[in-house]
Amino acid sequence: MKTHNFSAGPCILPGQVFEEASKALLDFDNLGLSVIEISHRSKNFVAVMEEAVALVKELLNVPDTHEVIFLQGGASLQFAMVAYNYLTETGKAQYLDTGAWASKALKEAKGLGTAEAIASSKEANYNFIPKGYSIDPSADYFHCTSNNTIYGTQMKSFPETDVPVICDMSSDIFSRPVDVSKFDLIYAGAQKNLGPAGATLVIVRKDSLGKSGRYIPTMLKYTTHIEKESMFNTPPVFSVYVSMLTLRWLKEMGGVEAIAARNQAKADLLYGEIDRNPLFVGTAATEDRSNMNACFLLNDEAHKEAFDALWKEAKINGINGHRSVGGYRASMYNAMDLDSVQALVDCMKELEKQYA
Amino acid sequence: MKTHNFSAGPCILPGQVFEEASKALLDFDNLGLSVIEISHRSKNFVAVMEEAVALVKELLNVPDTHEVIFLQGGASLQFAMVAYNYLTETGKAQYLDTGAWASKALKEAKGLGTAEAIASSKEANYNFIPKGYSIDPSADYFHCTSNNTIYGTQMKSFPETDVPVICDMSSDIFSRPVDVSKFDLIYAGAQKNLGPAGATLVIVRKDSLGKSGRYIPTMLKYTTHIEKESMFNTPPVFSVYVSMLTLRWLKEMGGVEAIAARNQAKADLLYGEIDRNPLFVGTAATEDRSNMNACFLLNDEAHKEAFDALWKEAKINGINGHRSVGGYRASMYNAMDLDSVQALVDCMKELEKQYA
């Protein structure tokens, strides 16, 4: 019986990726060696890195103005790197505060210089995406978080502005088409739609760099990694390799347009049930609902024991909500099949049969 | 026929570790899920992190004064973190310049404040470890690199000083006993004796932190990661898992004392042949020779083609020397068996038969 993995991250990846990675751990490229015991400068691994970068460019239609690099440290290290590389000593940065991670990103900028939240949904426990804010045209950059895993909200559009736009797309990159040319920098921890934890993807407009005027430690400087093609020091070999396999799978699936349609179908199925079933209620504003993470509550906590028993019986995994929202969170990343969402919906319907 | 992997890093790990990791990629802990698709906060992964930390403490006899954490970014990010956390605005740091990596570590400290090399073997292409230097007792810290992978040199002892000692042990940690209590901070990229690339081990004396008086970005602050037990953000799950498996293996092998004896036997075998065979010459000062990486040259480049054909025929991999030294570099990390070193020595003897 299949386990349905709704984990928020690290999360489900395609089964064929696990299969191939499992084999490569024993023998990679018929070398008689594991993929994790060869030099990162060997032609075999250089080919992996090059293919990973090429697939990112192809799948997201990255323009020639932008570079693609793989780093370490997760989005959390990017919070600091963004500020070091873009925030000038006398300038200011503007942040859209849509959740705990957006707020942490802002904190790192504040540590270095002047930065502020120009809009926030904190008072509403981040259950919507603020709109109607205006970005100061003199700002060094505007920072936003495209998808908020904890609260189940997602930006459906991005502001039009002449200010450089920097976006943390950790939890929805590769889930839908995005116009990369509109962003000066996009970053994403790998561990949702891209691959295992341990790699961080950065897509950066080359001519946006070198303007902060600050001393930047070598490892925090984007140009360091661009110049060395993500090999300034030993890259996270296995995480990059599995990311490459996942991107290959995504291309086979038809790319981001095709996966976006599949993700929409999964989201429609689950949100449809949340709205229809009298025992449940969604927590995020309808128009801002995330197609990656659906957060919902039981209307009556008395049904918790019964519902938990139902989804455990169905081999559903990882749907407990984050402690700051409570209830349930179903993460439906790219690799999840519709039948897993159906399995969850079936449990919701069964609960209704028993109690409604 | 077995491939003998002399790669300098990423490098050979125990076969049983590859086997177990390969299985865990398909099904971990009988969860029906891959080790890379479960939450890092699940009890199954928390148990992995806790066991990894406990094994580090046990194998290196880490005193209670010190904390063990797993980070990302490799030794290169540590170069900056060390300076941020230990170098005061008005103080100075003293570095032992024993190679390219030691020199890069110094560069990051110089970027932030006052730092200097108090001894260097650069003029001799780093073919020895400087001795007889004195450490200024007023220095904020003294930094050294225990093993220099590129040049095949290794510190056989560490200076006795009241100044905090910080050591990059990336390429020889767990290869021999070390008195952790003598160091305020030890760091190591995982990708030699510990595990795959993508994890970085730090062992730090708690009461040495919080004294630099600088603003430190959250991710570069050691206390951030100590307080959150290496889970401030998503850790490099797979690299930590494989490191844990490798440490389990090391314990089974009898720990660092036993592995040190095995490493000594391998080094004795190879250096014995380098010194005996008239066709070869070692590049590092005899007293400073590394037990991890043996660098040697052919006395006559005319034999290169024949020697290369011999070791390729023997399925030896990864022994080309680094471009800055040339010749050959045989890395004999913990997981390498004596028979692999014997295979290389047999090639050297065969060359002698043909040409001496």
Helix (H, G, I), strand (E, B) or coil at B282: strand
| C-alpha to C-alpha distances, A24 to A38, A44, A200, A346, B192, nearest whole angstrom | 11, 12, 22, 37, 19
Nearest-CA neighbor of A72 among B224, B315, B240, B53? B240
What's residue A281's pLDDT? 98
Please state the length of chain A.
356
Q: Which of A101, A221, A266, A311 is catalytic?
A: A101
Chain B environment of A9 (Cβ under 8 Å): 39, 234
Nearest to B218 among A108, A198, A234 (CB): A108
Average pLDDT over residues B263-282: 98
In eight-state DSSP terms, residue B90 is S
pLDDT band of B110, cuts 50, 70, 90: very high
Quick one: tokens of B256? 């660092």
Q: What is the dihedral of CA B340, B344, B349, B352, to 10 degrees?
A: 180
Q: Which of A77, A191, A236 faces B219 most closely, judged by CB atoms?
A: A77
Answer whether residue A356 shows pLDDT above 80: no
The secondary element (H helix, E strand) that includes residue B280 is strand B280-282
Mean pLDDT to the nearest integer, B125-135? 98
Two tokens at B85? 């956390």
Mean model confidence pLDDT for chain B: 97
3-class secondary structure, B141? strand
pLDDT recorded at residue A306: 98
Rounded to 5 degrees, what are φ and ψ at A68? Answer: -115, 125
On the question of pLDDT at B188 being above 90, the answer is yes
Contacts of A74 in chain B (CB under 8 A): 72, 233-234
Q: How many residues does chain B have?
A: 356
- pLDDT reported for residue B1: 79
| Distance from C-alpha of A254 to C-alpha of A269, rounded to nearest angstrom | 21
Contact criterion met (CB below 8 Å) for A35 and B198: no
pLDDT at B222: 98
**DSSP strand pairing (A185-189 vs A165-168):** parallel
Domains of chain B and any CATH numbers: 15-252 (3.40.640.10), 255-355 (3.90.1150.10)
Using the structure block, give the residue that is written with the tokens 């991107």.
A247
- Per residue in A178-215, pLDDT tens? 999 999 999 999 999 999 999 999 999 999 999 999 99
Inter-chain CB proximity B26 and A11 less than 8 Å: no
Hey, are the CB atoms on A236 and B234 less than 8 Å from each other?
A: no
Count Cβ atoms below 10 Å from residue A286 Cβ, excluding itself. 9
CB B282 within 8 A of CB B274: yes
Tell me the per-residue pLDDT of A292-349, one tens digit each, with 9 for 90 and over: 999 999 999 999 999 999 999 999 999 999 999 999 999 999 999 999 999 999 999 9
Contact status, residue A247 vs residue A56, Cβ threshold 8 Å: yes
Give dist(CA B38, CA A13) in Å, integer: 10
Residues in A closer than 8 angstroms to B214, CB to CB, are none
Q: Where are the alpha helices (DSSP H) in A74-156?
A: 74-86, 100-112
Distance of CA A104 to the CA centre of its chain: 16
Residues of A in contact with B31 (CB under 8 A): 3, 317
Distance CA A42, CA A291 (A): 39
Residue of B nearest to A31 (CA): B3
Residues B16-61 have pLDDT tens digits of: 999 999 999 999 999 999 999 999 999 999 999 999 999 999 999 9
**Cβ-based contacts of A242 with chain B (< 8 Å):** 36
What pLDDT does residue B215 have? Answer: 97
Give the pLDDT confidence of A98-136 residue by residue, as tens digits. Answer: 999 999 999 999 999 999 999 999 999 999 999 999 999
Any idea what DSSP says for residue B321? P
Q: B292 with B309: CB under 8 angstroms?
A: no
The Cα of A168 is separated from the nearest Cα of chain B by a number of Å equal to: 15
Contacts of B234 in chain A (CB under 8 A): 9-10, 74, 189, 191, 197
Q: Which of A5, A18, A104 sits opposite B26 (nearest CB)?
A: A18
Q: State the best of A7, A231, A234 to mutate against chain B, taking most chain B CBs within 10 Å.
A: A234
The single residue of A97, A140, A192, A311 carrying the catalytic annotation is A192
Please list every residue in chain A whose beta carbon sits closer than 8 Å to the beta carbon of residue B329.
none
Which of B111, B205, B109 is closest to B164 using CA atoms? Answer: B205
Sign of CA dihedral A323, A326, A327, A331: negative
Cα–Cα nearest to B253, from B171, B193, B343: B193
In 3D space, the residue among A33, A30, A195 whose CA is nearest the CA of residue B6 turns out to be A33
Calpha distance A49→A51 (Å, rounded): 5
Task: Give me the long-range contacts of B223-231 (CB less than 8 A, separation at least 24).
Answer: B225/B69, B225/B71, B226/B67, B226/B69, B229/B49, B229/B53, B229/B69, B230/B49, B230/B53, B230/B69, B230/B70, B230/B71, B231/B40, B231/B41, B231/B49
- State residue B356's pLDDT score: 73
Tokens found for residue B245: 């498996």
Q: Which of A92, A256, A106, A246 is nearest to A168 (CA)?
A: A106
Q: What percent of chain A shows pLDDT beyond 70?
A: 100
Q: Chain B interface, mutation test: which of A6, A101, A220, A233, most B Cβ atoms within 10 Å?
A: A233
Do strands B200-205 and B328-331 pair parallel, antiparallel, or not at all (unpaired)? unpaired
Q: Is A39 in Cβ contact with B217 (below 8 Å)?
A: no
Cross-chain CB nearest to B74 (options A31, A75, A233) = A233
How many whole angstroms separate alpha carbon A300 and alpha carbon B111? 59
At residue A294, the pLDDT reads 98
Please state, as a whole number, how many other Cβ atoms lie within 10 Å of the Cβ of residue B27.
Answer: 15
Closest Cα of chain B to A347: distance in Å? 20
Residue type, B168: D
A72 CB neighbours in chain B (<8 A) are: 72-74, 77, 198, 236
Chain A residue with Cα closest to B15: A26
Q: In sequence order, which ranges of chain B are alpha helices (DSSP H)?
A: 15-24, 43-59, 74-86, 100-112, 222-227, 237-252, 255-276, 304-313, 338-355
Positions of E strands within chain A: 4-5, 66-71, 92-97, 114-120, 141-145, 147-148, 153-154, 165-168, 185-189, 200-205, 280-282, 293-298, 316-317, 328-331
- Specify burial of residue A155 (Cβ count, 10 A radius: 0-12, 13-18, 19+): buried
CA A19 to chain centre: 23
The pLDDT value recorded for residue B127 is 98
Give the count of Cβ contacts less than 8 A between chain A and B: 201
DSSP states of A267-279: HHHHHHHHHH-TT
From chain A, the residues in CB contact with B324 under 8 A are none
For residues B201 and B67, the answer to whether their CB atoms sit within 8 Å is no
DSSP-based three-state secondary structure for A164: coil
Give percent of chain A above pLDDT 90: 99
Q: Which residues of B are catalytically annotated?
A: 101, 168, 192
Do A79 and B219 count as a contact with CB atoms less than 8 A apart?
yes
3-state secondary structure of B351: helix
pLDDT in the model for residue B277: 98
Distance of residue B26 Cα from the nearest chain A Cα, in angstroms: 6
What is the model's pTM? 0.98
In chain B, count H helices and then E strands.
Answer: 9, 14
User: Which residues on neighbouring strands pair with residue A95, listed in sequence order?
Assistant: A117, A143
Decide if A168 is catalytic: yes
Amino acid letter, B283 = T
Please work out, in degrees rounded to the nearest 5, the angle formed at the alpha carbon of residue A228 by the alpha carbons of A13 and A73: 45
A179 carries an active-site annotation: no
Shortest distance between the Cα of B217 and any Cα of chain A, in A, equals 6
B76 and A233 in contact by Cβ < 8 A?
Answer: yes
Residue A164: pLDDT band (50, 70, 90) is very high
Write the pLDDT tens digit of every residue in A80-103. Answer: 999 999 999 999 999 999 999 999
**Contact check, Cβ <8 Å, A198/B3:** no
- Residue-wise pLDDT tens digits, A227-282: 999 999 999 999 999 999 999 999 999 999 999 999 999 999 999 999 999 999 99
Q: What percent of chain B has pLDDT over 90?
A: 99
Tokens representing B123?
A: 């003029």
Global ipTM: 0.98
Average pLDDT over residues B68-85: 98
CA A281 to chain centre: 25
Helix axes A255-276, A43-60, angle to 10 degrees: 60
Which residue of A lies nearest to B234 if distances are taken between CA atoms?
A: A197
Select from B34, B198, B219 the Cβ nearest to the Cβ of A236: B198
Token duo for residue B243: 């490191």
Burial class (CB in 10 A: 0-12, 13-18, 19+), A3: middle
Q: What six digits make up the tokens of B88?
A: 């005061």
Asked whether the beta carbons of residue B37 and residue A11 sit closer than 8 angstroms, the reply is: yes
Report the pLDDT value the prediction gives residue A1, as an integer from 0 to 100. 79
Cis geometry, peptide bond prior to residue A10 (ω within 30 degrees of 0): yes
